[in-house]
Structure formats: structure tokens, C-alpha cells
Amino acid sequence: MQQTSVISASDENYKEAVSAATELLRAGEVVALPTETVYGLAGNVFDPNAVAKIFAAKERPSFDPLIVHVSSRTELERVAVIPDEIQATVEKLLNAFWPGPLTLILPKHPDVPDLVTSGLNTVAVRQSASKIFRAIGKELGQPLAAPSANRFGRISPTSATAVHKELDGRIPLIIDGGACAEGLESTIIHIAVGEKRPTITILRPGPVTKEMLQNFGKIERPKRPRDGSDVTQPAVAPGMLPSHYAPRTPLILLENAADFRPDRSKKYGLLSYTGEPGKGYTQLYPWAVVEALSPGNGKLPEAALRLFHLLRKLDDAGLDFIVAEPVSEVGLGVAVMDRLRRAASPA
């Protein structure tokens, strides 16, 4: 066990937060940092010992590769090699979405340690839009490997408090930058040359939606089944391992109200979309607790932002089951439903 400090990145404390984090990273340590999506557990990508510490703190299996965060185009070229045939598409995507929640799978630069990519010849790269994350990356002058700052298989943290619950005693420092602006992990894409237009495969749906990517190529979903049954294979499509984003309390994603057969001796809580009486499932059952993703108005960005926070809250509410209401699968709703499906216990 080690002492885990928390330093606020508020305006008056900003410089101190940047230098404390950078100093530890320079010494080969790992630090939890806020990004605009979820909190990440960062380490210098070129320091294999730091990368090993990330895997150890998260208890992450070594076959699940990490996302690399760069703070400039120059840094991108230190970790990835962009093939000529997709250069123009990559350029357009970066201009449109970086810095921001879009991760590209690209051929890996030989300098990136194999541990980072789990031996794959590709690397996942993004540039975070978080001001404090970028300031720390710049000050360090190295790209940062940073997966979500949760223990393996658990819900991604969207606040410093959530990181603390996951990794207290396992890491030296958490930078508290408040609640994350997006609340869901970045969209992960792979780009290939298509017949007429490039093909963009969405490996993990996220804040950059299919609708937003449509102008840049033909959009595809991964061909592999999404049941994550073969965990021995390196993730072709990411986050496809079973029990990802899972609360400890069993979660039922109730796509159809008629399928609900409650056991009256058990305690059920509802994760509702709007929480409004008479809407969705609020009156389907005398729920022990009701939490609303988007109180009142049913807006998807708000639902995305609150999803992981509310899953954690319901997980701590002493329930036997969490019942989740589906949201419509358009725009950000695709990513919200993706995370709910993975949080759901096998039927």
C-alpha cells in the first residue's frame, strides 16, 4: 500500500498540480489525471516500467492494450506511422475532432514498447481536450499512455472521488479536475481504404457519433460478435471483454417492460431516462430507488455525462438488482446503450 494524495487543479492550485504530476511522471510513476471523457491513469509511454505500473495498479491483463495520448502532431508521429493511403482522411478527422474524444487505431511506431500495445502492430492514439491533461503532457514532453483509471472490468471514473475509490493505496497521486465533461470514453475508430470512400470502423461508440463521422467515410460496425467470448485473443475491437463497465450489483437492461418478472423479496432500483412520473418505467414497480439519467428533459448528452456516476451511486445503494431503462439508439444514445449492454449481467 502507498499513500495516495489528491491535488486539486483549481485555478489557484493549477501550477502546483501541473508540477507535482509532471515530477512524478518524470520519475517513472503513474498519476490519475482528468480528461474530458473519463479519468485516465497516465504514465510515460516510452518508460516500460511506468507502463507496467499502469497494468499492475488496474489489475489489467497484459493482452488489453492502452490508449496513448499525444499533445501535438509531432508527438503523434513519435508513436504512430500514418500510411500514405489514409493520410488525407486522418488529416481531416484530426482537424475536425482533435483535441477531443476520438481515438484512432494506427500502425505503431517501433519506439512504442510492445507492452503498451499488447504486442499488436497498431497503436490507439488520441489528443485529450482537457486543459490540465494537456498542460501536464506538454510539460513532460512525452506522450502519455492512459487507460481509464478504474480497476479492470469496473465502471470508468468520471470524478476524482470515483478514482480514489478504485485506486486508493495503489497510486501516488490523483489530480482532481472536477467532473468530466463528456462522461463516456472516447470513440475508437479504424480507418481503411475503401472502394470509393475510406471505410471507418467504429470499434467503440462514444461522444464522436456515427452521424458526426459520416462525412469522412463509409461507416461500419465491427464484424466480430460482441459477446467477448474469446478473451484470449488480443482485442481486435476494444473493450469487448466480458463484464466491462460492470457494477457489482447485477444490472438488468430491460428492453421490454413486459419481460420484467420481479422477485418481491428482492430490492430493485431503477436507472430511468427522465425520471418523470408516468414516463418510461417509473411506475412499473415500487422501486427502492429511482435515479434519472437526464432529469426532466431526456437529453442524451446529459444522460451520457451522468451514466457512470449514477451506476456507481446505484451500486452503493444496497440493492439486489439495478434495472436500466433503454434509451433511443441515435447519436450519443448508441454509446449509452453500448455501455448499458456491457454493464448488464448475462441473462
Which residues sit at the interface with ligand TXA, rule CB under 6 A?
35, 37-38, 40, 64-67, 101, 103, 105, 117, 120, 122-124, 146-148, 185-186, 188, 235, 238-239
Place of cell 503513474: 30
Minimum gap (Å) between residue 40 Cβ and Mg ion: 9
Residue nearer to ligand TXA on the CB measure, 119 or 296: 119
> Which does residue 127 touch among ligand TXA, Mg ion, none (CB within 5 to 8 A, set by kind)?
none
Find the length of the chain. Answer: 347
- The amino acid present at 296, given as its one-letter code, is G
Minimum gap (Å) between residue 191 Cβ and Mg ion: 22
Residue nearer to ligand TXA on the CB measure, 183 or 333: 183
Minimum gap (Å) between residue 103 Cβ and ligand TXA: 5
> Which does residue 40 touch among Mg ion, ligand TXA, none (CB within 5 to 8 A, set by kind)?
ligand TXA
Beta bridge partners of 271: 291, 324
Minimum gap (Å) between residue 12 Cβ and ligand TXA: 26
**Is the peptide bond preceding residue 99 cis, with omega within 30 degrees of 0?**
yes
Closest CA to 64 of 173, 150, 139: 150
> Which does residue 17 touch among Mg ion, ligand TXA, none (CB within 5 to 8 A, set by kind)?
none
Mention every residue, 6+ apart, whose C-beta is less than 8 A from residue 323: 251, 252, 254, 260, 268, 269, 270, 271, 281, 285, 287
Residues making contact with Mg ion (CB under 5 A): 148
Tell me how far apart the alpha carbons of residues 186 and 49 are, in angstroms, rounded to a whole number: 26
Mention every residue, 6+ apart, whose C-beta is less than 8 A from residue 215: none
Minimum gap (Å) between residue 2 Cβ and ligand TXA: 22
DSSP conformation letters of 281-337? TTTTS--SEEEESSTTT--HHHHHHHHHHHHHHHHTTT-SEEEE-----STTHHHHH
Minimum gap (Å) between residue 287 Cβ and ligand TXA: 31
Minimum gap (Å) between residue 72 Cβ and ligand TXA: 17
Residue nearer to ligand TXA on the CB measure, 156 or 274: 156
3-state secondary structure of 236: coil
Residue nearer to ligand TXA on the CB measure, 54 or 319: 54
Residue nearer to Mg ion on the CB measure, 42 or 319: 42
Residue nearer to ligand TXA on the CB measure, 236 or 290: 236
> Which does residue 124 touch among Mg ion, ligand TXA, none (CB within 5 to 8 A, set by kind)?
ligand TXA
Residue nearer to ligand TXA on the CB measure, 2 or 233: 233
> Which does residue 123 touch among Mg ion, ligand TXA, none (CB within 5 to 8 A, set by kind)?
ligand TXA
DSSP conformation letters of 41-76? EEEETT-HHHHHHHHHHHT--TTSPPEEE-SSHHHH
